[in-house]
Each structure stands twice: as C-alpha cells, then as structure tokens.
Structure 1
Amino acid sequence: MATYPRTQSEISALVESMIAGYSEHPGDFPSADVAILQTARDEYRTTSEALTDAQSAAKLAAVEKAEKLERLQAVMKAQLKRSQVDTASQPEKLSQIGWGPKAESQSMRAPSQPTNLKIIAQGIGGKDNNKGILHLAWEKSAFKRARFVRYYCIERRQLPLNGDGEAAFGPWGHIASVIDNEISLKEEPTGVRLEYRIEAVNKGGESMPSNTIAVVL
C-alpha cells in the first residue's frame, strides 16, 4: 500500500514519476493535469534553488563579517593606544572618545578571617591508644576580588607546666595545611590543654587568626 512521502527528496521523486506516467499513459489517467503539475514543480525548484543560493551567500557574508569585525577591533585598539599616549598627562580627556584611563593593577591582599572554628569530633586512638584524634571545621574566608585563599594553616599551642609548677602557654606552631575548610588530626598530644586556630593564606599574606578553641584529649 502506497504511503505519501514526507521528505523533500521523496516528494521530488514522486512528482517526477507522476509527470512521466501521466505523459506516457494519458488514456489511463484522463483527469490528470500534467501542465499544472509541471508548473507547481518548476515553481518549487526555482524557490528551492534561490534558497540554496541565499544560504551560500549568507555563509560567505557571515565569514566576511567576522573578518571585518576582527579588523575593526584591531584598528580601534591601535587608535586607543595612541590616544592613551596623547593624553598621558590628562587621561580624563579620553572620556571625549567614550574611553577612559587604564585601571590600576590591584595588588594581592591577604584573605579575610576564617570564622566559627569548632570541634566536630574528638577521641583517643593509635596503636597504644595514646594518640589524640580531633576533627576540626570552620567557615571559609569570605571571597573577595584579589583575596582568594590558597590554603588554610592550622596552628596549635600547648599549656605545659613550667619549672615553678605554674601553667604557661607555649608559642603558636604550624601543624598542618589544607585547601578545604576541615581537617582530621590523628596524632595530637593527650592529657594536656591544647588550643587551636586557623589562618587563611595567599600570596598577599596571612589573614587574621580565627577564633581559638581549647580541648584536652
């Protein structure tokens, strides 16, 4: 059973077969109008060919447009550089051509302070069950332009007893670095008071230390 074609190529093939069949067997198809069929086919062909030509021309025009745009930008940039030299002593005059002075380079600044340092979990472990385990987490430094964080530095100090039997904190010391905002410490001293804090670091320097937390493991 015949099925009416859907694609343009199938439609074109069928119309050619119809015209050829009507022309060769007019007695079998007395109601057929070959002339109107040929006219409709020819009109379609003309329009289709015109569309193909227009599409080809559009592609060429798009390529040429891109080339001309690239050329235009190169000329504009060259002229702007010359104008910046011309107005070096009075750069505000560049506003007369819709431009402005170069933005000053922004030097790297130290990150902002990490906050809300807290203990997530703690305990005792190790082969001899004499190592402190501590999981810390904190809120990242607020992101600002030119103040991104390269890593976080974890610092610790210990409260030992001095020679007189009085407690005195030792100096802060770096014990680990991470790029995320949490860390698990698995070999911490036990039986002594420990304090921890976090600093954010980038090329511009170190941030203000976070809040300090204290723990005895």
Structure 2
Amino acid sequence: MLARMMAFLVWGLLACSAVYWLIQLMARPVAAPLHAQVVLEQRSGTADLTRLFGAAPVAAPEAALPADSRFSLLGVVAPRNLQASQAGEGVALIAVDGVPRTVRIGAVLDGELRLLSVQGNSAQLGRDGVVSMTLNLAPPLPAATGSLPPAANSPTVLGGQPMLQGDPAQAPFRPASLPPGQPPAPGGLDSNGLPTR
C-alpha cells in the first residue's frame, strides 16, 4: 500500500515537472515597448546616497561674510546717566546672521566678540576691551505725507425719510410764531410756538 502511494507521488511530481517545462518552452515572451531600455545598459544614478546610509551631508564651503554685514543693530536700551553706563547697564538687540539676540553689556555676542557699550543710537563691539566695530541704528523712515480726497456727501439721511421736492405731505411740522411783543392768546401758542397753560 505504501509502495503504491510512493509510486503515485513520484509519477505526480514527474507530471508536474513535465507540464512546467512544456509551458516554459511553448510560452511566447511579452514584447517590450519600443521606448524601453535594458536595465543593464543604464548608467547608475548620480544621486548622493550618503544620507540614506546615515552619513551627514557635507556642506559646500561658503565664502566668509565680512564681519560688518553679519551684525545689524535693531534696538538699544541705553542708560541715562554716566554711572549706570559705567556699571555695565544697558542692552542691545543685535541680529547675528539674521537671527535677533538680546545682549547685555559685557556679554559675548559671537566667538570672542563682546558688547562693550551702548549709546542712544549705537552699540560698540570688540575684544579685550578694544572697540573693533560700531553698529548704528538705521535712520527712521520718513513720515507718510499726502492729502486726503475731498469729503463726499453722505448717503445717510438723518431724521427719517428724505423729503421729495414739492411734496407738502412730507413737509416737517413748524409751529406758528407770533409777532414780537404780542401776547399769546389763552390756550394758544407762546412766542416760541409752544402751547401755553
């Protein structure tokens, strides 16, 4: 019984193998499109794959900017008296490479460069107490001047509906006035047009 099952299994594997090879020999390959290129003939990509494998990208060396162009003074809080100035009071808002930083007198701004002193519109920077550059605030922009256009008539009507020309039904009520010096009649109107008592 076991021999029959083994024979059946061997003949089954042999039949599957024959069918597989018959399909392989008789199958026609699918035609590739005309614009297709063989993968082996293509040049390898020129992309930098170092970041894919975890390496940090190497930055291209940049030309060093002049020191004066790296710093710009945005604001100053200067002390009013000489004693406070000598005590190191004062703060400057300085942009270093476009990034604003608040710096107190004596604090390091960049590398060995320190803020040495501040005045009303300027700040002095230097190393070891020697002033190497002075930053000035930009002059304020001129005030906007000009003239306003003439005022136009308002479309808003105060006191109700607009009165049409020549329409007596819409004429406002005006009390009758008495001639000067004439006393009002009893139960009539006074000189201001108001009813008397």
Q: TM tier, shorter chain? A: under 0.3
State the TM-score, normalized to the length of structure 1: 0.22
The higher radius of gyration belongs to 2
TM-score, structure 2 normalization = 0.23
* Larger strand share, 1 or 2: 1
Indicate the structure with greater helix content: 1
